[in-house]
Amino acid sequence: MSTPHLQGNPGDYAPTVLMPGDPLRARFIAETFLQDAREVNSVRGMLGYTGTYKGRAVSVQGSGMGCPSMGIYSYELFQFFGVEHIIRVGTAGSIQEGLNLGDLCIALGACTNSGYLSQYRLPGSFAPVASYPMVRAAADIAAEKGLRCAVGNVMSSDVFYDDVPVVDDWRKMGVLALEMETAALYANAARTGKQAMTLLTISDEILTGRKASTQERQTAFTGMMETALETAIRL
């Protein structure tokens, strides 16, 4: 049951999949947190693993960067591999004061400048939103762990290097942070009748210029990873 981007068969992936953008982060999560993890995908270097966490089957699969890449991988998981829940675990740049490096951010909804949503030919603007049960579980778990966690709107941008700055435009509307994948993930979940949530760690403070190192982006955000895994086993 291989697809152009994922190898394997139904059953190779658990019903719940964590999806970091970086395939090396997928490997780190599998090797650090999962028991008996086995590689289930290496097509195009986009690594995927399945193992167990506290006795429950969980998978982790890289998504790549941007709505088009997330759109491909999440759609194939939902549509062809029997996946029911996807938790994106990624990084974001905060655009609100008080949302600092290392803080968690749950994307309740996702604004976007991407053309991804135009494929549905809707007579209006679709608002991509998270699964509420997943959001509630993750927020409760973060609180139990004593982690700082904001819940609200994010912006999924198709552009990393904006020719014209747009931070103030989104900031005035209360958007918490900028990232690049959530809108496509939530749209695919809606279209396939599945559930999804994005859990982010703030890696950049766009207002102050502070940022995490490349190594920290790959391996140091364990609070987010553990919160996502605890959420996975409550679903």
163 included as an active-site residue: no
Q: Which helix (H) or strand (E) holds 35?
A: strand 35-41
**How far apart, in whole angstroms, are the C-alpha atoms of residue 100 and residue 95?**
9
Tokens 């198709």 belong to 158
For 147, counting Cβ atoms within 10 Å of its Cβ (0-12 exposed, 13-18 middle, 19+ buried), the class is middle
CA distance 139 to 56: 20
Decide if 176 contacts 108 (C-beta within 8 A).
no
Do residues 226 and 159 make contact, with C-beta atoms less than 8 angstroms apart? no
Cβ neighbours for 142, distance < 8 A, ≥ 6 positions apart: 104, 106, 149, 223, 227
Helix 222-232 and helix 23-33: axis angle, to 10°? 70
Considering 36, 168, 169, 204, which one is annotated as catalytic?
204
Please list the active-site residues: 204
